[in-house]
Amino acid sequence: MHEPITPRTADAIARLRLDEKVAIVTGGTRGIGLAIATTLARAGAKVAISSRKPEHVDAVVKALRSEGLEVVGIPANMGKAADAHELAARTVEHFDGIDIIVNNAATNPIFGPLQQATDDAFDKIFSVNLKGPLELCRTAHTIMAQRGGGAIVNVASIGGVSPEAGLGLYSVSKAALVSLTKVMAQEWGADGIRANVICPGLIKTRFSQALWQDKDISNQVLGHQPIRRIGEPDDVAGLALFLASDASSYCTGGVYMVDGGYLT
């Protein structure tokens, strides 16, 4: 027999709501980013959705507004510091503040050993995967602090904890993002700003399509992890909602796996 919902339990559920909160989601037009942006908006947040291509941003905004959700599209290339700064500024223009940042935008233009990595690939990977989140969060820091704090959710990878074969520089950039998240948590906690990082495993998205469509790779993954299925974007979005909401108000500096137990 189920125990009745107590006032304390009901309050915990209510704390997952994001009413009147303003969120930015980068890389928010497909895959994990789209799932997170949709989930936050459905939980009541006003969401600024960003990615590089304006046509993709416009299509997602149109679809979410058709549900009655309060969203705005702001195209930005997170590999350019000026775009990250403008993203923060335009979000404030639209919604009068920033409470939540989800750094999901990422890139990986190469697959193979380190010897094959070019300087251009290195610069692109670290500009988008590391410098972009840093610039966006530093720009938004004062805005969030003046509102009493906020939540930063960085999306890294299990490769940031245990490097993945063929994804050397990508894994290093995500390891740096994990460390950056911990630094943000340490330095900004006194300002009421929490920072946590999610490390997805193999998730069925276009970004990882070459991996999960490869039978040898997918069978190797599924044979190793306790949960015998490939993850879906919504598996990540639920955790992102928790970390963005007041339900996780005592959580900061955390590294959370969404990998079906692959690294167990």
In whole angstroms, how far apart are CA 185 and each of 36, 37, 136, 221, 262?
21, 23, 15, 32, 26
Q: How many CB atoms lie within 10 A of CB 117?
A: 15
- The two structure tokens encoding residue 105: 């935008």
For residue 170, give every residue at least 6 positions away whose Cβ sits within 8 Å of its Cβ, in sequence order, or none: 106, 108, 125, 129, 157, 159, 164
Task: Please list, in sequence order, all residues whose beta carbon lies within 8 angstroms of the beta carbon of residue 173, skipping any fewer than 6 positions away.
Answer: 125, 126, 129, 130, 160
What is the amino acid identity at position 144? M
Q: How many CA atoms lie within 13 A of 8 on its CB side?
A: 1
Look up tokens 């193999």; give the residue.
202
The C-alpha atoms of residue 197 and residue 61 are separated, in whole angstroms, by 26
**Can you read off the two tokens belonging to residue 146?**
């003046």
Known catalytic membership, residue 256: no
Q: Is the dihedral of CA 232, 49, 53, 181 positive or negative?
A: negative
Three-state DSSP at 88 gives helix
Helix (H, G, I), strand (E, B) or coil at 117: coil
Q: Which residues are catalytic?
A: 170
